[in-house]
Every structure is written in C-alpha cells, then in structure tokens.
Amino acid sequence: MTGNGHNTQEELASYAMQALSVEESASIRAHLQACAACRAELAKVSGDLALLGLAVEQQSLPEGARDRFLQRIAAAPAAKSEEKMADVTPITAKTSRRGKGFWIPWGAAAALAAVCIGLGVQNRALNDELDDETKLVKNLAAQASKAQQVLEVLTAPSAQRVVLTEGNTPPESTARATYLPERGGLILFATNLKPLPQDRTYELWVIPANGSAPVPAGLFRPDARGSATLVLPQLSPGITAKALAVTVEKASGSDTPTMPIVLSGATTGS
C-alpha cells in the first residue's frame, strides 16, 4: 500500500488481472470494501485493461480444445482443501510490487492502438476526398468534351445553317439550326415560340435528301420568353438533309410528324 493507506495502481492492476496470491487478493478485497477511493481507482484500472483487451486481435480456440480441457478436469483427482493450502507459496510484498516498467508494455499497446485508429480515420477521410476530386475531374472533363463538340459543329466549314420560319404567315417564330451531317451534330436556337399546353412539345425533324421518312431529331419546349435550344441530340451520322422541320407533338414525342409543320427551312445547297 501507499503511505496514506491506499492500494497502489500496480496492486490494483494485479488484482484486476487475478495475478496475486489468495492472501493478497483477500487483503485487497477487504480494503476495497471500506475504501471508496481505491474502489474508484480499481474501476478506472479495470476500464483501461478492458480497452487494451479490445485492441488485441482475438484468436479462436483450436477445434476440440474445449472438450479436451473439460475431459482433463473430469479425470483429475479431487484434492483436499488442506493439501491445497499446504501447496500454496505466499508471494512476498516485494514481488507484488510492480515498478515503472510494469506499465510500459500496456502504454505502448494503448499508444499503438490510438495511432492505428487515427491512421484509419485519416485514411478514410483522404479516400473520401480523393473520390470527390475524381468525380469533379470527370464532370469537368465531360463538360469540356461537350463544349468542344459544340464549337466544332458551329465552326465546321461543311456545317449547314438553316433559318426556320412559319409558313404563309408573318415571320414571328424563328429558329436557326446548324447541322453537320458527317458527325450527326445539330444545334438549334429558337425564338418567339408560341407557348404550348403541358401535354404538348415541339419536335425537330431532319428531312433526308434521298426521300426517305423524316428522322426525329429531338424534343424542346420554350421558356417564358418563347426561347428554346436543342444541343447535340442523339442523331445517327451520315444523314444528308434537304430540310429541317418542326411540328407540335405529344409530350413524349412521335415517330412520324403530325401536321401541320409550324417551322421549316431548306439546308444550304439543297
């Protein structure tokens, strides 16, 4: 015990790990019943040991070890209590004391566990940050790729530029389209479009020069000012067009144009 009559941390740790003799354990147990301070210190030491125990990787028992252990206990002869007491060798007070070195392995294990937990948290944070950066780079690359395609369609010497207007009426609604047949690239800007009901939409059509059926080239709806854009719809390359046209269709679009045609225009060179 310490000079003030309390158990030392080494004694309490040995008691918690059941590393003391019967007499020493009984003495500490009797002292704990009357000393609240030592009971509190024992609870703290036991908690530290439990945390260290959790940090150690658990190994399962070999197959059949438990059965063999129980069989050995059953086969061993029962010893008399007097003989057991005679075989006990008391541990002196000197051997029950633990020097400062007693806590070094426990402290090293606790520090290692804390470092491993910290590295794990830091590694997870770095991985999450890397994932966010990767997604951002991919998004920027996709935007740059589409911008490059738009620029190529608008500046290509072979691009056909079309002005679509309402037929037989004053040119109120207007659409300007740039079409690159070999790439299947098409960009349309429309202004002064008439508003449509929610179940209707405008649909653009490519009218092939070979006389085949019109090809749907995308759906679009005007904003509050009557403006709309259609940028790089899904079109097969290689369709030579003699004209472009716009019709009003149901909201999901149509496979064939519904008359009347509200906007139309011939391609250059047709």
Same domain, 24 and 41: yes
3-class secondary structure, 67: helix
Residue 161: pLDDT over 80: yes
Question: In this structure, is residue 188 part of a structural domain?
Answer: yes
Q: Which residue has the higher pLDDT, 160 or 81?
A: 160
Same domain, 194 and 258: yes
Determine the Cα–Cα distance for residues 175 and 163; give it in Å rounded to an integer.
Answer: 6
- Using alpha carbons only, what angle is made at residue 139 by residues 133 and 143, rounded to the nearest 5 degrees? 145
CA-to-CA dists, residue 107 to 9, 38, 110, angstroms: 14, 21, 5
Residue 16 tokens read as: 């918690």
CATH of the domain at 91: 1.10.10
Per residue in 113-143, pLDDT (tens digit) is 666 776 777 777 778 878 888 888 888 888 8
pLDDT of res. 60? 59
Give the strand pairing for 215-220 and 160-165.
unpaired
Per residue in 33-42, pLDDT (tens digit) is 888 888 888 8
Question: In this structure, is residue 125 part of a structural domain?
Answer: yes
Question: In this structure, is residue 81 part of a structural domain?
Answer: yes
Same domain, 125 and 143: yes
Same domain, 130 and 167: no
The three-state (H, E, C) secondary structure of 75-137, written as one string:
HCCCCCHHHHHHHCCCCCHHHHCCCHHHHHHHHHHHHHHHHHHHHHHHHHHHHHHHHHHHHHH
Q: Which residue has the higher pLDDT, 59 or 31?
A: 31
Same domain, 116 and 129: yes
- Using alpha carbons only, what angle is made at residue 168 by residues 165 and 174, rounded to the nearest 5 degrees? 15
Low-confidence winner among 64-73, 81-90, 144-153 (lowest mean pLDDT): 81-90
Residues contacting 156, CB < 8 A, separation 6+? 180, 183
Per-residue confidence at 108, pLDDT binned at 50, 70, 90? low
Per residue in 212-265, pLDDT (tens digit) is 999 999 999 999 999 999 999 999 999 999 999 999 999 999 999 999 999 999
Question: In this structure, is residue 88 part of a structural domain?
Answer: yes
pLDDT of res. 219? 97
Residue 177 tokens read as: 């389209």
Question: In this structure, is residue 251 part of a structural domain?
Answer: yes
Residue 205 tokens read as: 């059509």
Determine the Cα–Cα distance for residues 35 and 41; give it in Å rounded to an integer.
Answer: 10
CATH of the domain at 245: 2.60.40
Same domain, 2 and 90: yes
What domain range includes position 10?
1-52+74-97
Determine the Cα–Cα distance for residues 61 and 71; give it in Å rounded to an integer.
Answer: 16
Counting the structural domains of the chain, the total is 3
Determine the Cα–Cα distance for residues 243 and 258; give it in Å rounded to an integer.
Answer: 16
Determine the Cα–Cα distance for residues 115 and 122; give it in Å rounded to an integer.
Answer: 10
Same domain, 258 and 197: yes
Same domain, 90 and 165: no
Global pTM reads 0.46
